Amino acid sequence: MNGFFSKMPRLPFHIVKRENCPLWMKCCFYLAAIVIALLAGALVLWAIDVDPWDYYYQMFTMGAVGNKRAYKIYMNYIKEFLPLALTSVALSLAFKMKFWNIGGEGQFIMGAVSAAFVAFKLGPVAPAWVTLIVMCITAMVIAGIYGLIAGILKVRFGTNETLMTLMLNYIALYFLTFIGETKADWNFFLQEKSARPVFESFKDIVIFPSIPLGEKFELNVCFILTLMVGAIIFVYLKYTKQGYEISVVGDSPNTAHYAGMKVNRIVLRTVFLSASLVGLAAAFKVGSSGVLSTSITDDVGWTGIIVAWLAQLNTGMIFIVSALICVLQFGSVNAASEFARVDSSFANMLQGLILFLVLAADFFIRFRIARTKKGE
């Protein structure tokens, strides 16, 4: 690297560390990053002959302005937002401990399948509220145990949790595919009548209730539950002894050990908690849509990683960031129906651009460029 720089012409400025960047300045940098990303996106749109202004308008309003069925759009938006926010919060727990749990996808699938299992088996014989609670608990426990596999292997044999959780993702994914494509007598997850393998819906058996607000808009209880879990995790990380332990283990495992903490136990406990919250997100998701699908995760296990990092593992920020990312994703799907020429994966590109530029903005928050004064 130095070799590279030394060949550059002498520059009249240099990089200086910035201390205590004020909040307004941080906000400005992040805002600038997003604006530049959008401008770059506009350039692409303009190149394929789409009016960027129209497109962005469609995207950011999610087609809700002037739409009689806007309430439907908001409800769908919230359905996308909840699993992402909760998964990101869950992952941030493990990340805080420097346990790189990138197994959100797998844990989500395991949670979703076990929640659906409970819905099919317990739903017809028990009251709805009992079924829903058992669904949540089962999903949490199964997902938690699934996450624990990587945790135990790391603690016991020093394996790399990144690789383990990554590989477990694929095991879970193919397990779900197996269920979704195997027509057999035992497979109650599929529709009996259909000749092709199609997931059976349990909408009529059990589903998370919604609270009607206003004329047509209904707020799913999962929304309130997710916010509550978020608040609890915020307090847990910031103000509890266990949260403190997570920070210390993340910062220096040696020090934690030296302070008399049972490091392995803390690691396992936190990994279980992280994975089980991903499972809870999955239970909310299947519990409110009433059906499994091979794309049940909506990639929240991956997007959640980005959200957690963009929010710098701050629980409050995670909710804001995931709300924004959801606007991007949901809005672009919506805009894609208006603009046939732009695929909905445009959102992915935009998301990548924003992530990249926000990270670049981070550089300017930590450093500033100063003019080099010439010595006399």
Partner 1 sequence: MAGYAIEMHGITKTFGSVVANKGVDLNVKSGEILALLGENGSGKTTLMNMLSGIYKPDSGSIYINGEAVSIDSPEDAKRLGIGMVHQHFKLVDVFSAADNIWMGKEKSGLVLKKKRYDEIKDITKRFGFDLDPTKKVYNMSVSEKQTLEIVKVLYYGAKIIILDEPTAVLTVQEIEKLFNVLRAMKAEGHAIIIITHKLNEVMEISDRVAIMRKGEYITTVNTSETSEQALTEWMVGHKVNLNIDRPVVEKTRPLLEVRNLTINNDEGATAIDNVSFYIRGGEILGVAGIAGCGQKELCEAIAGLRPIVSGQMIHKGDNIVGLPPKTILEKGISMSFIPEDRLGMGLAPSMSITDNMLLKNYRMGKSPLIDRKRGRKDALQVIEDLSVVTPSTETPVRRLSGGNVQKVLLGREIKAGPNVIITAYPVRGLDINSSYTIYNILNKQKLDGVGVLFVGEDLDVMMALCDKILVLCHGKVMGVVHAHKTTKEELGLMMTGSLDLSEKYADKPAGLAKDTFFEDENKKEG
**Shorter beta-carbon distance to partner 1: residue 21 or 227:** 21
Q: Both tokens of residue 154?
A: 């790391």
**Shorter beta-carbon distance to partner 1: residue 2 or 295:** 2
Q: Degrees (nearest 5) of the Cα angle 326, 329, 330?
A: 80
Q: What is the CA radius of gyration of the chain?
A: 23
Per the DSSP assignment, residues forming a β-bridge with 17 are: 367
CA 155 to chain centroid, in Å, comes to: 26
**Shorter beta-carbon distance to partner 1: residue 1 or 47:** 1
**Shorter beta-carbon distance to partner 1: residue 216 or 366:** 366
When asked if residue 158 is in the footprint of partner 1 (CB under 8 A), the reply is no
Q: Degrees (nearest 5) of the Cα angle 47, 48, 49?
A: 90
When asked if residue 5 is in the footprint of partner 1 (CB under 8 A), the reply is yes
**Shorter beta-carbon distance to partner 1: residue 8 or 47:** 8
Report helix angle 263-289 to 70-96, nearest 10.
170
Interface region with partner 1, contact rule CB under 8 A, candidates 25-33, 138-146, 236-244, 309-317: 236-244
Residues 62-101 touching partner 1, rule: CB under 8 A, are none
Length, in residues, of the chain = 376
When asked if residue 269 is in the footprint of partner 1 (CB under 8 A), the reply is no
Least CB distance from residue 123 to partner 1, whole Å? Answer: 35
Least CB distance from residue 163 to partner 1, whole Å? Answer: 21
Which of 68, 254, 295, 340 binds partner 1 (CB under 8 A)? It is: 254
Q: Degrees (nearest 5) of the Cα angle 57, 61, 64?
A: 125
Which of 18, 26, 121, 269 binds partner 1 (CB under 8 A)? It is: 18
Least CB distance from residue 307 to partner 1, whole Å? Answer: 22
Q: Quick one: which of 201, 149, 204, 188 has its CA closest to 171?
A: 149
- Residue 106's alpha-carbon distances to 147, 151, 166, 210, in angstroms, are 8, 14, 8, 28
**Shorter beta-carbon distance to partner 1: residue 17 or 193:** 17
- Residue 31's alpha-carbon distances to 22, 38, 362, in angstroms, are 14, 11, 12
When asked if residue 10 is in the footprint of partner 1 (CB under 8 A), the reply is yes
Instruction: Provide the CB-side half-sphere exposure for 92 (13 A, CA).
Output: 29
When asked if residue 370 is in the footprint of partner 1 (CB under 8 A), the reply is yes
When asked if residue 3 is in the footprint of partner 1 (CB under 8 A), the reply is yes
Which of 12, 22, 66, 260 binds partner 1 (CB under 8 A)? It is: 260
Report helix angle 315-338 to 300-310, nearest 10.
130
**Shorter beta-carbon distance to partner 1: residue 157 or 186:** 157
Which of 112, 134, 248, 325 binds partner 1 (CB under 8 A)? It is: 248
Q: Quick one: which of 150, 97, 145 has its CA closest to 263?
A: 97
Interface region with partner 1, contact rule CB under 8 A, candidates 125-133, 186-194, 215-223, 257-265: 257-265
Q: Quick one: which of 32, 17, 31, 96 has its CA closest to 363?
A: 17
Contact code string over 282-301 relative to partner 1, x by CB under 8 A: --------------------
Say if residues 230 and 315 touch (Cβ distance below 8 Å).
yes
Interface residue list for partner 1 (CB under 8 A): 2-3, 5-6, 10, 14, 16-20, 239-244, 247-248, 251-252, 254-260, 370, 372-373, 375-376
